[in-house]
Amino acid sequence: MKTVLVVYHSQQFGNTKKLAEEIARGILDAGGTAKLINTNERRVTLDDFLKVDAIALGTPDYYSYPAGMIKTFFDDLYLWDKEGKPVKGKPAVLFMTHGGGGRAKQPFEAFAERFFQRVGETVTSGRPIDDTAKKSCFELGKELLLRLSAV
């Protein structure tokens, strides 16, 4: 069975967590397993990352940038790669929430391009989280699993 690591940062209202949970529902619906880590609770380890087949990554917009702990995750990936660990090339889907700005999308996608094979389009939602974004996340989780099952 394919496993997806759903890494997200959610701290202010639980908005990003709601989207993470929809992605996880989509993954389960398509026959996969989802492991969720909120970087507000703990840091992602190399072991967490190497064990999974794909990743779903979500951030709130903080000052037009990904949240600090999501940036730390990218920093860790960079360093693991330099140490020779096989961290590049996993399929990934992206999602983000914002308070009306949403300019974190560009830097968020730019970091992700360095490490992952992107699947689908980044799902974004303002406040409150809307049903369209939830549905898109559910579908994105399914799409990621179907992509994994095809290889």
Ligand X SMILES: Cc1cc2nc3c(=O)[nH]c(=O)nc-3n(C[C@H](O)[C@H](O)[C@H](O)COP(=O)(O)O)c2cc1C
Q: What character string, x for contact with ligand X (CB under 6 A) and - otherwise, covers 11-30? A: xxxxxxx-------------
Q: What character string, x for contact with ligand X (CB under 6 A) and - otherwise, covers 109-128? A: ------------------x-
Binding residue for ligand X (CB under 6 A) from 100, 131, 150, 151? Answer: 100
Binding residue for ligand X (CB under 6 A) from 97, 122, 124, 136? Answer: 97
- The 8 Å CB, 24+ separation contacts for 147-150 are 147/54, 147/91, 147/119, 148/2, 148/4, 148/32, 148/53, 148/54, 148/91, 149/2, 149/30, 149/31
Which residue number places its CB atom closest to ligand X?
A: 101
Q: Which residues sit at the interface with ligand X, rule CB under 6 A? A: 10-17, 60-64, 97-102, 127
